[in-house]
Each structure stands twice: as C-alpha cells, then as structure tokens.
Amino acid sequence: MQTAVDAQLLDEAERYRLRFACADCAHHDPTSGRCAEGYPPDATPAPALAAVATLRFCKLFELV
C-alpha cells in the first residue's frame, strides 16, 4: 500500500515513533535479509519521511 507523506503523517510518525521498515517486521529474517513471506525487502533502511513524497507499507507488516 502506498500513502502520501503529508504534514499529518510526519507529525504522527514522530509523535508515536512509528516504525515501518522491513527490519522492524516480525517476518524479516536478519540473517538472510529476506522476508519470510516472500515479499521483496526494501533495499535500503527506512527513508527519512521528510525526504520522500510517498511511503510504501507492506500489508503483512507485524511489529517485532
């Protein structure tokens, strides 16, 4: 799912310390760097939200 990065998302991400990177997901295998569900992992760590216009969220993301 893609969502626009706007002022509200920036505020809420900072206020609630939202995490959304593959490395923060329970399905991420840190040894192999792959997703246990077979989704392609992001090649880079979570971007600085202010630096991107949209953010891609995985529908299976589960916080570790």
Beta strand spans in 1-64 (E): 2-4, 28-29, 34-35, 54-56
The confidence score (pLDDT) of residue 37 equals: 93
Instruction: Report the chain (64 residues): mean pLDDT per 10 consecutive residues.
Output: 91 92 90 90 71 86 90
Query: Domain map of the chain by residue range?
Result: 2-56
Phi, psi of 25 (to 5 degrees): -95, 145
pTM score of the predicted model: 0.72
The confidence score (pLDDT) of residue 47 equals: 65
The confidence score (pLDDT) of residue 23 equals: 86
The confidence score (pLDDT) of residue 49 equals: 85
Phi, psi of 56 (to 5 degrees): -100, 125
